[in-house]
Amino acid sequence: MLIGVALLSTRYYMVDLPVWHFLGGGNGPDPVTLHLRGEFVESNLGAAEGPAGSLTVRMIAQQFDFVPQCIVVPAGVPITFRITSADAVHMLSFLGTDYGLKAVPGVVTEATFTFAKAGEFKIPCHEFCGAGHYAMRGHLDVVPRDQFASLLPGERRTCEPR
């Protein structure tokens, strides 16, 4: 266990931090104040509609869950994900698809994916990030477009039955 922690922290300083700086870290969101100000405050997380019907999903990965834990998006629409990490490096993988996203502290990772059909996707973390890594998973609920349009903002951030 101790060796594992030592290896992880070594990896953080020897690999992750230089990569982070290379990617322009420092201009990105500060992992310590993520929840308090800026793009990733709680009220701004989840799916949000932008101009011309575009859709952006903002998420935080942290030891050992995702915020929000569940996200609801419409089927057949390009969705731009913007994610960051509050601590270690995490890797979101959308089970059953080729889609994946790395969450790095201090960096916003952006990618656009389209989910053709309605369905539920589990989002396990695929990067070893600590003791709770194996239990770290989120959910993506893809619903028909007209159903999505009728949801209130709060309902787009939960997998509670509707």
In terms of CB distance, is 55 or 127 closer to ligand CUA? 127
H-run or E-run covering 2: helix 2-11
Interface pattern 72-91 for ligand CUA (x via CB under 6 A): ------------------x-
Query: How many residues does the structure list for the chain?
Result: 162
Distance CA 46, CA 40 (A): 10
Distance CA 80, CA 92 (A): 14
Angle at 71 between CA 46 and CA 159, to 5 degrees: 130
Question: Please, what is the minimum distance in Å from the beta carbon of residue 94 to ligand CUA?
Answer: 15
In terms of CB distance, is 57 or 83 closer to ligand CUA? 83
Interface pattern 40-69 for ligand CUA (x via CB under 6 A): ------------------------------
Binding positions for ligand CUA, 115-154, rule CB under 6 A: 125, 127-129, 133, 136
